[in-house]
Amino acid sequence: MAKVDVLKAFSRLLHPKPVLLVTSVDGEGRPNIITVAWATPASVDPPVVAICVKKDRYSHKLISETGEFVINIPTRGLVDKAMYCGTVSGADVDKFRETGLTAAPARAVRPPIIEECVAHIECRVEKSVDAGSHTIFLGRVLAAYADEERFQNRMWLVPEADLVLHMGGRSYATLAEKFTL
């Protein structure tokens, strides 16, 4: 097996990763959306997730200042809007207005949920780790809920849940099959 050097693309070896729409607010409560693929559960007890946000993103400023975010999980049908939210900055545009996505009140935090998404994880920042280009925001999970028709027995139905994954750049993937050992 010949192995080619991919150091410059090392992060792509860890893709595909679910496409996520992370909402945050500014000091006046104005919401923003950033598309994020670099995220992971980080602890079960207490429940903690980690998202990696580049320091120059507008969302980085909002999450740093207000200390809360919501991870919203879109389906394949929302990928155009995810691409939009992942290529323009909330410093320049109102992404809720431009995408037509619906902001609805969250259960435990100020940033809104995105109504069209099929699951939501509401978080309060517990700790920020400077990783270099990106900051890792460790968020204590205050609430998490999902579409009962797509998430059953503590698992996504695959392929019915119709989740969308990011490969890198403009490339995406969907899940074809679930198997159980």
Ligand X SMILES: Cc1cc2nc3c(=O)[nH]c(=O)nc-3n(C[C@H](O)[C@H](O)[C@H](O)COP(=O)(O)O)c2cc1C
Contact footprint for ligand X (CB under 6 A) = 19, 32, 34-38, 52-54, 57-59, 83, 86-91, 134, 166
Q: Which is nearer to ligand X, 3 or 97 (CB)?
A: 97
Q: How far is the CB of 13 from ligand X (least distance, A)?
A: 15
Least distance between ligand X and beta carbon 167 (Å) = 9
Nearest distance in Å: CB 177, ligand X:
23
CB-wise, 83 or 142, nearer to ligand X?
Answer: 83
CB 32 within 8 A of CB 95: yes
The residue among 87 and 180 lying less far from ligand X, judged by its C-beta, is: 87
Whose tokens are 């939009």? That residue is 84
Task: Report the relative pairing of strands 164-168 and 20-25 from DSSP bridges.
Answer: unpaired
CA atoms within 13 A on the CB side of 2: 1
Prior bond to 159 cis, omega within 30? yes
The gap from C-alpha 128 to its chain's centroid, in whole angstroms, comes to: 17
Pick the closer one to ligand X by CB: 19 or 109. 19
